[in-house]
Structures are given as C-alpha cells and as structure tokens.
Amino acid sequence: MMRRLIGEDIELVTVLPPDLSAIKADASQIEQVIINLAVNARDAMPQGGKLIIETANVHLDEGYAQIHASVKPGPYVMLAVSDNGTGMDTRTMAHIFEPFFTTKEKGKGTGLGLATVYGIVKQSEGYIWVYSEPGHGTSFKVYLPQAEAIKEKDAARTVEIQPAAPHGSETVLLVEDEDGVRSLVRGILEAGGYKVLDANRPLKAWAASQQFDGPIHLLLTDVVMPQMNGPDLAEKLKVLRPKTKVLYMSGYTDGAILYHGVLQPGTPFLQKPFTPEVLARKVREVLDASII
C-alpha cells in the first residue's frame, strides 16, 4: 500500500530494529499516522526522492523535558518519517499542526492530515516533534510511551548497567543555531569538566577558532545551519587545526543523514534529542579515538 501511495519515483527505505518495545495504541490509528506522514513527505518531493521510515527505543530525559515543557521523561518508542524534499522554514513549522493550515495549492490539500496525526499522537499519550530546514528535507518524530511492563523492565536494567558518565578537560568548540539546545549542551559539557567555546553560526565559530590561542580538541557541530553546513565548517577548520576531531549532531535521524548522503557512513554522529549520558560518552569516545 505504501509503494502505491508514494509512487515509483520515491525510494522507500525502512530502518526497523527487531527488539522494538511494545506500545499501547490503536493499530489502525498508528497506520493512519504513518500514511498521513508519508503522504506529506511525498508531496514535498514532487521530483522524487527518498522516504525513510525508522523506529527505535529511546529515553527522553529531564534535559529534553526542560526544553519541551509538555514532555514527561521516560522510555518511549520513536517512529520517524523523513524525506529529502523541499523542507520548511520556522514560520511554517509553527502552524503545521493547526486544522485547515496547508501550504499546498487550492484543491490539493485539506490541511487536516497533520492535525489528525497530532490528535492521534496526543490521544495515545505521546509527543510529535518536527525538524526541517528549507531545501534539506523534513523529519517528523513521533514518541509513544513504552508499555508499562516494558518500562519497568528497561528502567531496572538501566539502573543495573549504567556506569558513571565520563568526564574530560579538553576544549570543545560547540556550534548550534538553536539557543536552547546550545545552552543545554554547553551546560552538560561544562559540568563534565570541558572548556567550551560556543557559537550560534558557523562564521562566528570560525572567527572564535582563529582568536583562540590554545588547542581545540573537538568540534561539536550541528549538520544543517545558516551560512554554512557542519561538514563545510569542519573542512575549513581542518586547514587551520588539523588535529581537531569532529562530532556532528542533528535533529534529522541517523537514517536521513546517511541515506541522503549528508555524512559518510561511520562519521561520528548524535541524533537529537540525546541524554546527557549519551552526549558525554560520545564526546569521550570521539576524543579518545585515534585519528585515521
């Protein structure tokens, strides 16, 4: 049904882990969510493209809840639907879940598809989040609570095996255009002992790197930003500081980033949202890795 729905000029990619936890929801309604998001993605790719459907077990922590006021921390199942279509600006994203709001031509959209998705997700006690940049596609992420028995089992297992988050003393250049995210990440890094230089734009980060006298051990940068993207900034910085390691982060999913060719397979990458522990471990992992 999905193949007939999206047409032959759109490649369908699925990333579905076998150990996905259970959720409590109406199956036909979840089907409707997937169909509506797929149709939305199809319409954003009039010349064809890639549609990526991903699922994963995730944990939304207190840090994520701080910048998403309605979110209750805990274990969730994520359903992500991503495309490499036209994308949206922040003004459009602010209205997309409103009933009858549409950017499509008259007669080509009712404006109820995403409003229906929003209603179903809320009815299922979940959350929906969208990340998009004009010209770089869109990722919709739906978070649905894991079933109660699975929650308790996972929570107990997490308590048993979770060692303390690693610390460090290196200097990190943090580049992130969302103020709330940048502030949160900076706080986590500084609490872990790192010295942090931060910037909300790549050109500001480049200027900061030129003015800073000491070594910059790690560039932690968003992938898609105004002025210049993360990979281009990393290449530019490598000329000035060849020993600086790089870790990318993005609101787009791992699959969307890799399947759309934005980053090469094996490139260090963090998908937002992430917990402080995941960030700390990934930063330490990249810093400790040998340069190839």
CATH topology of domain 171-288: Rossmann fold (3.40.50)
pLDDT, residue 136, reads 87
List pLDDT tens digits, range 222-250.
Answer: 988 877 889 999 999 999 999 999 999 98
DSSP sequence for 57-83: EEEE-HHHHHHSTTPPPEEEEEEEEEE
Q: Using DSSP bridges, classify how beta strands 127-132 and 138-145 pair: parallel, antiparallel or unpaired.
A: antiparallel
Contact between 73 and 33 under an 8 Å Cβ cutoff? The reply is no
List pLDDT tens digits, range 89-140.
Answer: 888 888 888 776 666 655 455 556 788 898 999 989 999 989 888 888 999 9
List pLDDT tens digits, range 3-45.
Answer: 888 888 999 999 999 999 999 888 899 999 999 999 989 999 9
Residue 159: pLDDT over 60: no
Which residue has better confidence, 38 or 166? 38
Residue 155: pLDDT over 80: no
Up-side HSE of residue 289: CA atoms within 13 Å toward CB? Answer: 16
List pLDDT tens digits, range 65-96.
Answer: 666 667 888 899 999 999 999 988 888 888 88
Task: Supply the DSSP symbol for 25.
Answer: S
Q: 79 — phi, psi (to 5°)?
A: -115, 120
Break the chain into its structural domains and give their ranges.
2-159, 171-288
- CA 161/CA 151 separation, integer angstroms: 16
For the domain 2-159, what is the CATH code?
Answer: 3.30.565.10
- CA 233/CA 226 separation, integer angstroms: 11
Task: Give the number of other Cβ atoms within 10 Å of residue 227's Cβ.
Answer: 13
pTM for this predicted structure: 0.66
State what percent of residues in the chain have pLDDT above 90.
46
Task: Give the number of other Cβ atoms within 10 Å of residue 90's Cβ.
Answer: 9
